[in-house]
């Protein structure tokens, strides 16, 4: 179950970034390890896809 504490834990374990990520189909958007961790932990890859859809 996704709740505030889960999101808070993801936020607290991510500070700084050593690597940047991009979607293969939209190289203009670059995001950090924290965003990648959020996507993987919550299985929410759609969040970045939604951001891209608003940019295009």
Average the pLDDT over 5-28 and give the result.
91
- Residue recorded with tokens 């990520």: 21
Predicted confidence (pLDDT) at residue 1 exceeds the cutoff of 80:
no
**What integer pLDDT is reported at residue 34 of this predicted model?**
93
Tell me the helix, strand and coil percentages in the chain, rounded to 5: 50, 15, 30
Cβ contacts of 27 within 8 Å, gap of 6 or more: none
Q: Which domain holds residue 19?
A: 4-55
Could you give the number of structural domains in the chain?
1
3-state secondary structure of 18: coil
DSSP 16: S
Distance CA 36, CA 18 (A): 12
pLDDT score at 41: 92
């Amino acid at each position: 179950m996704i709740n505030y504490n889960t999101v808070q834990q993801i936020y607290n374990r991510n500070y700084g970034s050593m690597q940047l990520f991009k979607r293969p189909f939209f190289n203009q958007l670059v995001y950090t390890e924290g965003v990648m961790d959020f996507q993987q932990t919550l299985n929410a890859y759609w969040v970045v896809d939604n951001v891209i859809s608003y940019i295009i």
